[in-house]
Amino acid sequence: MKAWLQLGYVSRTFGTQGEVVVKTFHAQSQSLQLVKRLKFCLKTGEECIFCLQQLGKLNEGWRLLLEGVSTPEEAKPLVGSRVWLAREELGELEEGECFAEDWVGLEARLESGEVLGQVSALLYMGAVPNIVIHNAEGKEWMVPWVEEYVPRLSMEEGYVIVRPLEW
């Protein structure tokens, strides 16, 4: 399992104290309220871990004050960074629950059992996330992550059953 789970990205700086605004991929996510550390993957490829000092909800995301960042000039290099949470800080999941990040790499099958491809990404756009599936021939499908199109998931066996949209 992955030790860090991608949450979103830094969209801009905020205020005069070096705060940053983080937009989460899942708008309803409350995960930031559970953690103390965040990993930032900068556009340069560098990775930095910061302790969260203060957190506030905004219409467009979350306002974060990070330990060691106290001016807008120090915060500016973080803009555009991907933001990751430490899995260990999120607590235990209930029976049958999993993190969306864990779907990447699962085999995608049709209800007939035929292998369609592999889950390569989750895209958070619009009302529901979409599962991106690629096969060995390079074909791609995007399937809405709702029960109508994703009726079954088996993390233990490493697959998800999907009903791709017909065009």
The CATH number of domain 4-90, selected from 2.40.30.60, 1.10.3720.10, 3.50.50.60, 3.10.580.10: 2.40.30.60
Cα distance from N-terminal residue to C-terminal residue, the chain: 35
Instruction: Give residue 146's identity as a one-letter amino acid code.
Output: V
Fold classified for 100-161? SH3 type barrels. (2.30.30)
Q: What is the pLDDT of residue 1?
A: 66
Between 107 and 91, the more confident residue is 107
| Cα 163 to Cα 89, 103, 104, 133, 139, distances in angstroms | 34, 16, 17, 12, 16
In the chain, CATH 2.30.30.240 covers: 100-161
Q: What would the pLDDT profile of 11-44 be if each residue is shown by its tens digit?
A: 999 999 999 999 988 777 788 898 999 999 999 9
pTM (2 d.p.): 0.74
Retrieve residue 99's tokens: 């993190």
Q: What would the pLDDT profile of 103-153 be if each residue is shown by its tens digit?
A: 888 999 999 999 999 999 888 777 788 899 999 999 999 999 899 999 998
Count Cβ atoms within 10 A of the Cβ of residue 84 and give its class: 0-12 exposed, 13-18 middle, 19 or more buried.
Answer: buried
**Backbone phi, psi, residue 78, to 5°:** -80, -20
Q: What is the pLDDT of residue 140?
A: 93
